[in-house]
Amino acid sequence: MPLLPKPNFVPCRKKRNPKFFSRAVSRLGLWTVTNRKPVMSKKEKPSPLKKLLKAWTSAGPEERQAFLDLVSAEVRARGAAPASQVSEPVPEDAAALIANGRYLLPSTIERVEGVMRARKLSPSGVMAELGFSSRDASLTRALAMKASLRLSVIAALADWLAEHERQG
């Protein structure tokens, strides 16, 4: 039985223009189908801010002033407060916060370690008291390496801390 060329090779009968360097000729005189022209990266589209800056530089002085008047009129119409007066709201139970998102606050870590020392508990013992598996090392990682915790563990830990601090 004669040997047939592999299916990814196509016989090339005519001479190709060598200006496309992405195509390669095999030693058998065949063009490989897998070596196609490389995909060119697409040009990034300019962001709206870049478009605005380009339009600003090409605009004349009267167009710039008209734009500034328009923007200031919109700000006055909205009644927006200056950015310096806006502040982040502080939650009412700020003293009860034990975590920032999924990460324990440093003060919370100190409080948990204080209760653990007083009761001679390990992090696995605390997890067992919280109702989770004692093999779960997430509290250990959170205390030692400031790793994240599941939200259910944080909620249970908040109740556990409040209960133990009430007891003294």
What 8-state DSSP symbol labels residue 11? E
Q: Give the residue extent of every domain in the chain.
A: 97-167
Query: How far apart, in whole angstroms, are the C-alpha atoms of residue 11 and residue 29?
Result: 8
Residues of the chain below pLDDT 70: 1-40, 80-96
* Per-residue model confidence (pLDDT) at position 71: 83
Q: Which fold has domain 97-167?
A: 434 Repressor (Amino-terminal Domain) (1.10.260)
* Per-residue model confidence (pLDDT) at position 5: 58
Smallest CA-to-CA distance from 118 within 168, 156, 157, 155 is with 168
